[in-house]
Amino acid sequence: MRIDRVKYTAHYDEYGNVKDQWVGLEAVIDDTESPERQLDAIKKITDQWYKANNPHVQFEGTYIGGHATQQPPVLYSQSEPEIGVTPEVIMSCNDLVTIDSYRLIIKGKGELEAAYVKRRAEIVDAEKKEILNRTGNRTF
């Protein structure tokens, strides 16, 4: 067997992370060994490359001819990425520009959204009072 083509294709998300990737090998087979064994050898090379270049993915079982020989591959990942923002960070904000910079990254995260809503209301109230004090008005 002689490998005569290697192909790598990757699709990236908007942040530059690999979203999908494909690795392919094409080979000219010889008559000294069965095509199935040579296909298994190509698959083994491809699998080794993929596993070496994707250490965050764990595999269980293998597929041969479209049928699982054991269990299908299982991909493990964290259920939710760590964003490095805590309710304390949000509650320490002192102005609308800073707190509003968190608006999109906390969306859908209950405890963080609650802290955001509470602290933003406090900041707005404080700014209203400051405006009233500077203008001499007591109400809006």
User: What's the whole-model pTM score?
Assistant: 0.41
Among the ranges given (26-40, 49-63, 99-113, 122-136), the one the predictor scored with the smallest mean pLDDT: 49-63
In sign, the C-alpha dihedral spanning 118, 124, 128, 134 is positive
Q: Cβ contacts of residue 133 below 8 Å, gap of 6+?
A: none
Predicted confidence (pLDDT) per residue in 17-76, tens digit: 777 888 888 888 777 878 888 888 888 888 888 788 777 666 555 545 555 455 555 555
